[in-house]
Structures are given as C-alpha cells and as structure tokens.
Amino acid sequence: MSDANTRTITELLNEEKWTRATLNSYTVTNLKELDEAIEKIKDPKQRLEIKNLCDEHLQHTKNSIIALYISGILALSRQSIDDSNLIALINIFSDNHKAAIVEFLAERILSFGENKTALRTLADCYGDEDEEEKKYEMLERLIKVDYEEADIVKHLAEKKEQEGKIQDAVDYYKKAIHRYIQKKVFSNVKEIWHKLIEFDPHETDFFFHVEKKIAKMINPEKASHLLEDLYAHFKKAENWDKSIEILKRVIDYDSKNPNVRKEIIECFQNKFAQHSQLEEYIKLSNLNQTWRNIRDSIADFEKHIAFDVGNFVGHKTWGVGIIVKIEDDEITVDFSRQRGHKMSLKMAVNALNTFPKEHIWVLKAVFKKEELREKIKTDIPWALRTVIKSFDNATDLKRIKAELVPSILTVNEWTPWSSRAREILKTDSSFGNLPDKIDQYVVRENPISFEEKTYNKFKAEKNYFSRLSTFLDFFANDDISTDSEFFNEMFEFFTSYLKSYANVNEYVISGFLLLRKVIKRYPFLNPGINLDFSEVFSRIESIEELFSKLDNSDMRKDFVELVKDFRDDWKTIYLNLVPVYLSKYLVDQLIDSDCFDEVKALFSEMVENYKEYREPFIWVVKNYSDEKSITRFGLKYDKILIGMIHLLDISFREITNKK
C-alpha cells in the first residue's frame, strides 16, 4: 500500500501538464480527488516522503497545481505554520478568476485552524458575492488572529455604531485605538478617543491606560491634549471630582500651562462652593499666583479645604475628632479624649490629619464595636472597600490586618476571614492591583476585567518566572481573548527572548516551551519562530545548570517530555537530571526503559556521597527508604542513618555559625 500511494502521486505529477487551458479547466472536484489520494496516505513517515517528493517537483515546476496542493495540505496536517504553497495556489487561481476554487482553498486552509490570509481571502470572496453577513463574519474572525490589523477593526466599530449596537461598537473602538497607538497613527487615535468620550466617557480607567501608552509611544504633548478633551466632557457634566483628577494628570505633562491653573481653580470653586473658608484657602495656598509651583499650591489647598465644620480630623495622641467651629483663624475640635479643644488654623493644618466620614478610623470612633464587628464579618467586600479607600485607595493585606486585628476581629477570626477576603480580591471585578505593586489593592470605579487584573499583576512582577506563573494561570482559563492588548503584551514579553539568541538559557527555553504550549491551542499565534526542539536543545551549554535554573514546574515537565520525544540519548540525560529534578517521574521512566541497574548505581552513589548530594540524598531517603525499596535498590540502612545524623550535625553547626 505504501509503494502504491507513492506511485500514484508520482504518476499524477508526471502526467500533469501545466498550461493556461489546463488551469482554466480545473474545478473544485479535481482538488477533492487529490484530497482522496492524500487521505489514503496513513503512515506519517510516508506522508513526509511524499511531501518531500512534491517539494522536489516544485523546484523545476514551480506552478504545479498538484504538487502545491499536496505539499500544502501535508504541511498543515503536520501542524506546520508553512501555508506558502496553498497561498501560492490561491494567488494563481485568483489571477485566473476561479472564485469557486479560491473559496474552496481558503476554507480548506481554515479546516486546520485560523489563518490570516485565508480569512481575508474568504471575506473578499463573500464581498464579491454580496454575502455581507458571511463577509463580516470572516472579518470578525480575522481581527482575532491579525493583531496588526486596525482599519478593519475601526470599520467594524463604525458598522456596529450605524446599526445602533453601541456597546459592540465601543468594544471594537477600544481594540482599534490600541492598534493605532502601536502603529503611531495619531489622527485615528484622536478620532476614536472622541468617539469613546461620546459613547463611554465614564470608563476613565481605560482612558488613563490609553493616555499612558500614547505618551510613551507617540507623544506626551498629544496625550495631554486628549486629556483636555476628556476634561471638557466632565466639566460640562459638572463632575468636579473627575474634572480635578484629569487636570492633575494634565499638569503632570504641562505644569506651566496657565489655562490649567485657571481651570482647576474654577473646579475647586464649584466643588467647594458651600465651604465657609473657600476663598481664604485659595488665597492662603497661592493657587492663583503663577509664581508658585501649581502642584505645591494644590497640595496646600487640599490640605486646608479639608478643615470645615462637620469634618473629621485625627491626632496621634487625642484620637479622632470632629470640627465643631471655625472662627477667624481659630478652629474648635471635639476629640474623643478631649472636648472643645481650640487651636490656630496653621497649627491644625500641621498637626492634624483629615479623614472622610467613611474612613475606618472614623467608623471605629463613631460606631459601637459590636455593630462594626458584625458588619465587617458579614459584608467582607464592604470591609475591604472601606479599609482600602481609607488609605489613598492603595492598601495591602498586611495593613488591612493591622486595622482589623485585634481592635475588631480576633486572631482566630482573622484566619477564615482573610481567606475569603483574598478570594474576593482575586475574583471581584470591583477590586484591582496597582500596576507597579502587586500586593497593593485598589477599589475600581468601573469593574476590572480578568484580563486587565492579570495584566496588572504581570506588570508588577519583577521576576521572569513569577511572570511566567501569572501568564500560565491566565492561560489555563478557557475563556480568554487572544486579541486583546493585554494578552499580546504579556505573550510578546516571552517570545521576545526567541527573536535573537546565541546560547539557550533558562529564559530562552522557557519562552520556547511556552510558545509550543500556546500555539498548540492557538496555532495562528505563532510569530514565525522555528519550533524545532532538537535545534534549540543543541545550543544548550549545560543541561543540568540550565535545568536547575528553570524555576517553573510546568516548564520542567514539558522539557523532560520533549527530551524523551526528540533525543535518542534521553536515558543518559534523564540520569544526569535526576539529582537536579527530584522527581519519581524520571526514575519510573528510566526503570520502565530497562535502566534499573543505572538508577540503582545512581542511588548508591548519592547515598555514598551524601555530603555532595545533600538534597538528592534526603529525597532518596524520603521516597525509597522503606524496607522493600532498600532491598530492591541494594541500599544500606545503617549507611542512610549515619548520613542523616551527620547532615543534621552539619546543619546545626552551620546554623550556629550563621552560614
């Protein structure tokens, strides 16, 4: 059967005569007949032989339809990213206006997985046939695999907008603006920014994220101008808090802009219109004086403006108090430990902290302990929001514990409470992380997506393998969007190590193993990198040293499995890795492959030289020191006892010497 298949394909290639007439007479049926011939080739080795046969034929007959088709299909069936032969066929039949065959070829490619060229080709075919619904279905699939495509995303957004599907339009506009930032096409970025202000202005976290990318990748001045446009919306809506927040971000780009100073004074005047000391505090802080640094003026003003009748303040000795009177330059405060305390405003500003009514310290002072305790125990999200927002909306669990234990919760109550709190912080979309501090939690005005929360955690991680673990946890989720800017940026971090390297270190091999894992699930994500494990493996200088630095259990397991699949000397490699990769998996694989004597000798060496093999020796004792294993591997029990006692003695001496 094997020879018959090869003979059949050879005859087809030899009989083929490539002429214009032959090309014009081709139909989809002819290609389906080739599929039937391919289907008969079951043996993987023979498939490779026939592919090589077709490739050789193409060297002297480059437009052979049969060779191009069979080679192309066999390549894709081997999960190769090489679609060049089938794409060449699409071009040949497109030039000869054979639309039905072009459509068939594109669909045939897609039967193996998503493909940019095939999707784009089908979209064009359906467009020519006035099949609008099918065309847009292809375009929607295309933008999920072609991350550089921005114009089509924008076009889809505009279409959804015309159809009145505003939320869908917003989703597409958000994708498009990130892609135009990557391309540095500011005119389109600006246009979409204004569209999003029109349709989704309250998603300020998104705007701020985009603003930072624009400042970094295009121009800080342009980012500032876009923020001013966003500010205009919130000013018109009389949302003074958000207006002030945006103006502060503008100041970070242009602190000398006189118009910004004027606008922020106007916002303060509107926000604190009912404040009894408003104008006095503007004057005291020199907000309207151009000679003073605007950031210092704002900080000074905000510190003063918090002092008004009815507001809460705190003192390190007198505790929490409430301002009951302000007269001229003197304020009167009722502290929990000292009523009717009078002090000058200047002294108050320097000596007292101001708190909002929802601050945890205020709640502790105002409510009965049992009432607050019950509320915190039964409504954990509320408790987390309260404590986090009490400290500039950025707090870690250590600080949360300090505020609740033992003043409200006991140590025993904290343990189950904190477990539930951690889960809520991880899964509740109203909580996020600071992008640069992984352990600092924030309360979000708008819900945060799982992707963005993971991305923030990823960015905050400084260690390569911590980032890898974060990405793998994210990738384990079936419902992820591979066309989001968050996914792309994380994935690009790892693939960047594969773009250019001389020697293979732990980062290169981890990136390689991760890329194989990702494209196995999403073949279209391959950035065109060679995934030949043997070639990568050959560049490793020291396998044991590299493996010892491979600080991720998933990557270690993938590595040893590939070694077994691709290396004839895998048994020798496994034996060398056992002291580094303390895993029963390696031992079992070796024993199952008739290497019992080698494993026995290795165990004996590790027991004999226990001082050099400390961790491997202890691992052997833990896992193979039962009576049956000692007999099986020929280990000496007294030797094990002596070794363990000696290591214990060495450890105590090293502890004493602080080594």
Among 473, 358, 487, 359, which Cα is nearest to 427's? 473
Order of strands, sheet of 341-344, starting from the edge strand that comes earlier in the sequence: 341-344, 330-335, 319-327, 312-315, 353-355
| Cα 289 from Cα 282, distance rounded (Å) | 10
| Residue 330: strand pairing partners | 327, 344
- pLDDT digits 0-9 by tens, 6-57: 888 888 888 887 666 677 788 999 999 999 999 988 888 888 899 999 999 9
Alpha carbons 429 and 448: distance in angstroms, whole number: 5
> pTM for the whole thing?
0.74
Q: How far apart are CA 561 and CA 557, in angstroms?
A: 6
The whole-number pLDDT of residue 329 equals 80
Segment 153-159 mean pLDDT: 96
User: Does the structure show a pLDDT above 90 at 193?
Assistant: yes
**Span 399-407, average pLDDT:** 93
In this prediction, residue 20 carries a pLDDT of 62
**Where are the alpha helices (H) located in 97-164, listed in sequence order?**
99-110, 116-128, 132-145, 151-162
Share of the chain above pLDDT 70, in %: 98
Cα–Cα dist 364/336, whole Å: 11
List % helix, strand, coil for the chain (3-state, nearest 5).
70, 5, 25
Q: Classify burial at 350, counting beta carbons within 10 Å of its beta carbon; exposed 0-12, middle 13-18, buried 19 or more.
A: exposed
Residue 1 binned pLDDT confidence (cut-offs 50, 70, 90): very low
Give the whole-angstrom CA distance, residue 509 versus residue 157.
40
- CATH architecture, range 219-305: Alpha Horseshoe (1.25)
Give tens-digit pLDDT for 64-74: 999 999 999 99
Name the DSSP letter for residue 256: T
> Does CATH place domain 361-448 in 1.10.10?
yes
Tokens of 56: 């050789």
What SS3 class is residue 437?
Answer: strand
Q: Is the pLDDT of residue 448 over 80?
A: no
User: What percent of the chain has a predicted confidence (pLDDT) above 90?
Assistant: 57
CB 404 within 8 A of CB 413: no
Please tell me the predicted confidence (pLDDT) of residue 11: 86
Domain ranges of the chain: 2-113, 219-305, 361-448, 485-656
DSSP-based three-state secondary structure for 163: coil
Strands 312-315 and 319-327, how do they pair? antiparallel
pLDDT in tens, 18-30: 666 677 788 999 9
